[in-house]
Structures are given as structure tokens and as C-alpha cells.
């Protein structure tokens, strides 16, 4: 994730301030050096890093901490505010008819991002269409067509044309029925004058409501020059960061938003069309400072619940909030959890679970947990309808039968029953909350010590 190392190193440095009420120049110097280091390692522009660290130093020493505030909280607040100021808001993307043009360097991931964004819009109830204007790179048409197919959205391209401007014009006309037009362009870089002129021409025809710069998370200091040139040519309204599932930190995006006076719109983190998220500054900063990412977790949970529900009309997650919590419910919850994506990604968003705590877990902890969940699924498949509805009735002989039937050890079956019991108790606590508002549920869990990974708290 963007800058996630800053989170842990910053927490470490800030911890040295714990218990101090006054802050010395030396303390601030140490914190600022750490921040500089993290930001530079994240590929944030050097000048930008200097500016940022200067204002943190200045404010930490000059501003009087409000009464009762510890030195640590004082500095933390300043760092938070400065980072929020740097990152800015998320690029506004209204859910209405619009045309979006994508621009960026070769290989930054424009075509994949176009398909992901189209998928995102379609999930929001709009009808998107992708117009592919890359006539240069061999195979670009086929790639875009297939990605559009995977995203199940409209597509326009001309495999044999060599006039991107004409394709853009024809494409918009041919997909006039669509609500959202996403215009993909060929990769180019700031120093290719003829290609820069070409994208200016495409922009003239397309008249996009917003142009997004697609940036590889791994881009280095060159991000500044590239962003500046694209902004001067077509006007950049937002940045989409790609390949965040690697180890690159994406600091180039901060440089780019600073340079183009724009904001971050989307984050891409995988090869399937679903691997896209809206950028949320709150989430971003919270996660950065090790405070979890409630908002994104909530969105993921809700999306996963809907998907699970789509698969099975009879099941409503709201039912969890009333009546008996059965193994059926647990099975659904596990499916929903599965739909949320890889467990470690999800865990990273849970307050108290991400950052520091994740660092302490063994590397394969998530795999082990996921493995266990698979085991549970197999076991549940071997249980009868009555057992699923009333797991408390399952006795020793049934456990033996289920273990044999599922090929799982008896202990694993008992574990499942214990797990269910614990979850049933947890669910009972939540039933008093009225509606199934996930955000409230999550913040309630946070108050309960922050360590619980939802209903699956006992699994870790």
C-alpha cells in the first residue's frame, strides 16, 4: 500500500516521544529525519519532502501544544495535518454521464485501468463503454477488447486503423448509448513531442470531463517531469496509481498530484478487473498512521455481502442481526469474507490489526488461517441440514461421521463448533444495535479493544 512503511517507522519514532511533555529540537529532528527517509524511499519528490519536513519541524517547535496534549500527540497531529494537506481529497467522480480520458507512460497500466474503472462504474449502476485509441502498440486492440469483455462492458476499437483521433470520434458516436465513456490512449512520455501533440488532438475531439494520469506505483523522481508535461498538454484532473500489489510505495503519485494541483482518484492492485478502489484520503492517512481503514473495510464488506447475497436469494445479512446464528450464517459469512479478497489485505484495514500487529504475525499466518477456513467449508459440506441449523446438537458420534465424511481431523470439526459458538455469542452482542450498519458495528468493535477481527476474532 502507498507509504505503508512510513506507518510502522513513524510509529516507532513517535514512540520515543511517549511520556514526554516537552519536545526538544533533537526529538523533532529525529522524527523528521525518519519521515524524510520514508518519503524518499517511497519515491516522493525530493523538493516536496524538504518542504514537508521543514513545515513539520517549524510547526512542532513553534506551535504551543494545546493544554494536556503530550509531545507525541502534538507531533502526530502536525504530521497528520501536513500529510492530509499534501495528499488532498480524492478526485471527485460524480456518478453521472461523463467522458474520462486516460493518459500516461508506456506500460503504466492504462488499458487495465480502463477496464477496472469501467467495471467500477457498472457496479455503481452506470453503463460504461471503453474506447481504445492505441493504434501503435501491437496487440493493444486485442488486449483492450478482452479486458472489456472480462469487465462485461461495451467496447469500441478499430484494429486496422492508424488514426487515433478518428477512432476517438467514431468511438464516442458508436457508444452514444453509454453513460460513461472511458477513452484509453497509447502510452507516451513527456519528451515525445509528436505523441504529446497527438494526445492534445485526441483531447480536442473527446473533450473529456476529466483526464486522469495513470502512474505506475514504481515510478521514481521522473514522475514530476511527466506529470508536469501531461498537465500542460491535456490538463490532469486526477491520478490513478497502478501495481500497488507490488512492493513499490507509489510516492510518485504524491509528486504528481502536487505538480498538477490535482488529486488521486483510483488505486489499482491486481490483475483482475475487480482490483480497483477509490482513493480515500481519510482511509489513506488513517492506515498510514496505523489507525486502520474503517471506511474501505466497510465498503468491501458491503460489496462482499451483496455479492454473497446475489448468489443466494434466501439469505440476507441483516438476518444475522436477529434470531439464531446458525452454521448456515457462518458459512455465508465465510463466503462473504472470501469475496472481500485476500485475508491479509482485509486484515490490514482493521483497526489495530494492520501495520504493527501484522508485522508481528508470522508471514504465513494468513495462509494458515485461510487454510483453516477451507477446512471448515469442507466440514460444513459434510453436515446434514439439521446439524447446520442447530450445531449445538452435534454429538461425539456425529463428529466422527463428519470428520470421516469430510476427510478432516475430528479436532478440526470440534474447532469449527467452538468457533461457531464464539461467533454466535459475538453476534448476540451486536443484535442490540438495531440495523446492520457495518460502520457502526466496526467502530463498536474498535472500542472493544481494537484487536478483534470481526466475527472471526477467535481465529487469530
Q: Which is nearer to another protein, 227 or 383 (CB)?
A: 227
**How far is residue 128 CA from its own chain's centroid?**
21
Burial environment of residue 303 by CB neighbours within 10 A (0 to 12, 13 to 18, 19 or more): middle
Residue at grid coordinates 444475522 = 320
Distance CA 32, CA 38 (A): 10
Residue at grid coordinates 474503517 = 294
Residue 279 backbone zone (phi > 0: left; psi -120 to 50: alpha; other: beta):
beta
- Per-residue CA distances from 64 to 56, 75, 201 (Å): 13, 11, 54
Min dist. Cβ of residue 264 to another protein (A): 17
State the binding string over 306-345 for another protein (x if CB under 8 A, else -): ----------------------------------------
- Per-residue CA distances from 408 to 141, 241, 376, 399, 414 (Å): 48, 43, 9, 10, 11
> Is 129 labeled as ligand-binding?
no
**Contacting another protein (CB under 8 A), which of 102, 147, 172, 289?**
147
> Is 5 labeled as ligand-binding?
no
Q: Which helix (H) or strand (E) holds 131?
A: strand 128-132
Select from 217-225, 324-332, 338-346, 407-415 the region that touches another protein (CB under 8 A): 217-225
Q: What is the DSSP letter of 66?
A: P
Select from 33-41, 164-172, 341-349, 442-450 the region that touches another protein (CB under 8 A): 33-41
Residue 132's nearest CA partner among 88, 89, 197, 181 is 181
Does residue number 218 form part of the binding site for another protein (CB under 8 A)?
yes
Select from 168-176, 241-249, 289-297, 324-332 the region that touches another protein (CB under 8 A): 241-249
Does residue number 101 form part of the binding site for another protein (CB under 8 A)?
no
State the binding string over 173-212 for another protein (x if CB under 8 A, else -): ----------------xxxx--------------------
Beta-carbon contacts of 160 under 8 Å, excluding residues fewer than 6 positions away, are none
Does residue number 107 form part of the binding site for another protein (CB under 8 A)?
yes
Select from 94-102, 245-253, 275-283, 338-346 the region that touches another protein (CB under 8 A): 245-253
Min dist. Cβ of residue 151 to another protein (A): 11
Q: Which is nearer to another protein, 137 or 444 (CB)?
A: 137
Q: Which is nearer to another protein, 33 or 322 (CB)?
A: 33
Contact 231, 260 (CB under 8 A): yes
| Chain residues in the site for another protein (CB under 8 A) | 37, 40-43, 46, 105-109, 136-147, 150, 189-192, 216-223, 225-226, 243, 245-249, 251-252, 271
Binding residues for GTP: 104-111, 184-188, 242-245
Amino acid at each position: 500500500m502507498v507509504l505503508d512503511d512510513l506507518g510502522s517507522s513513524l510509529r516507532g519514532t513517535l514512540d520515543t516521544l511517549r511520556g514526554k511533555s516537552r519536545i526538544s529540537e533533537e526529538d523533532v529532528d529525529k522524527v523528521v529525519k525518519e519521515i524524510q527517509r520514508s518519503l524518499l524511499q517511497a519515491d516522493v519528490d525530493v523538493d516536496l519532502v524538504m518542504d514537508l519536513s521543514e513545515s513539520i519541524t517549524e510547526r512542532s517547535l513553534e506551535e504551543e501544544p494545546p493544554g494536556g496534549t503530550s509531545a507525541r500527540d502534538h507531533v502526530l497531529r502536525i504530521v497528520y495535518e501536513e500529510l492530509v494537506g499534501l495528499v488532498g481529497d480524492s478526485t471527485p467522480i460524480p456518478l453521472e454521464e461523463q467522458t474520462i480520458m486516460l493518459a500516461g507512460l508506456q506500460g503504466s497500466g492504462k488499458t487495465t485501468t480502463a477496464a477496472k474503472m469501467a467495471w467500477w462504474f457498472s457496479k455503481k449502476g452506470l453503463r460504461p463503454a471503453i474506447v481504445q485509441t492505441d493504434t501503435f502498440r501491437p496487440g493493444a486492440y486485442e488486449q483492450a477488447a478482452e479486458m472489456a469483455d472480462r469487465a462485461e462492458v461495451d467496447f469500441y476499437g478499430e484494429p486496422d486503423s492508424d488514426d487515433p483521433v478518428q477512432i476517438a470520434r467514431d468511438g464516442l458516436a458508436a457508444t452514444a448509448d453509454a453513460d460513461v465513456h472511458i477513452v484509453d490512449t497509447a502510452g507516451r512520455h513527456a519528451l515525445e513531442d509528436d505523441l504529446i501533440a497527438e494526445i492534445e488532438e485526441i483531447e480536442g475531439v473527446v473533450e473529456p470531463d476529466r483526464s486522469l494520469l495513470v502512474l505506475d506505483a514504481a515510478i521514481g523522481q521522473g514522475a514530476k517531469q511527466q506529470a508536469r508535461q501531461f498537465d500542460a498538454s491535456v490538463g490532469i484532473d486526477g491520478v490513478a496509481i497502478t501495481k500497488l500489489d507490488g512492493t513499490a510505495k507509489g510516492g510518485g503519485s504524491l509528486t504528481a498530484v502536487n505538480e498538477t494541483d490535482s488529486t488521486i482518484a483510483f488505486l489499482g492492485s491486481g490483475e483482475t478487473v475487480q482490483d480497483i478502489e477509490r482513493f480515500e484520503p481519510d482511509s489513506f492517512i488513517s492506515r498510514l498512521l496505523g489507525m486502520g481503514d474503517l471506511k474501505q473495510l466497510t465498503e468491501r464488506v458491503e460489496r462482499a455481502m451483496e455479492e454473497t447475497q446475489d448468489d443466494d436469494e434466501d439469505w440476507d445479512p441483516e438476518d444475522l442481526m436477529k434470531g439464531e446464528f446458525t452454521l448456515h450464517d457462518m458459512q455465508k459469512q465465510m463466503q462473504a469474507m472470501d469475496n472481500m479478497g485476500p485475508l491479509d489485505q482485509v486484515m490490514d484495514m482493521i483497526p489495530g490489526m494492520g501495520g504493527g500487529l501484522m508485522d508481528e504475525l508470522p508471514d504465513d499466518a494468513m495462509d494458515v488461517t485461510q487454510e483453516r477456513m477451507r477446512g471448515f467449508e469442507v466440514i460444513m459440506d459434510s453436515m446434514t441440514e439439521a446439524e447446520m441449523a442447530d450445531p449445538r446438537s452435534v454429538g461425539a458420534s456425529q463428529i466422527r461421521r463428519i470428520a470421516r465424511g469430510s476427510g478432516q481431523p475430528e479436532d478440526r470439526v470440534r474447532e469449527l463448533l467452538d468457533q461457531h459458538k464464539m461467533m454466535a455469542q459475538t453476534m448476540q452482542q451486536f443484535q442490540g444495535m438495531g440495523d446492520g450498519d457495518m460502520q457502526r458495528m466496526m467502530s463498536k468493535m474498535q472500542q472493544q479493544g481494537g484487536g478483534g477481527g470481526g466475527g472471526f476474532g477467535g481465529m487469530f
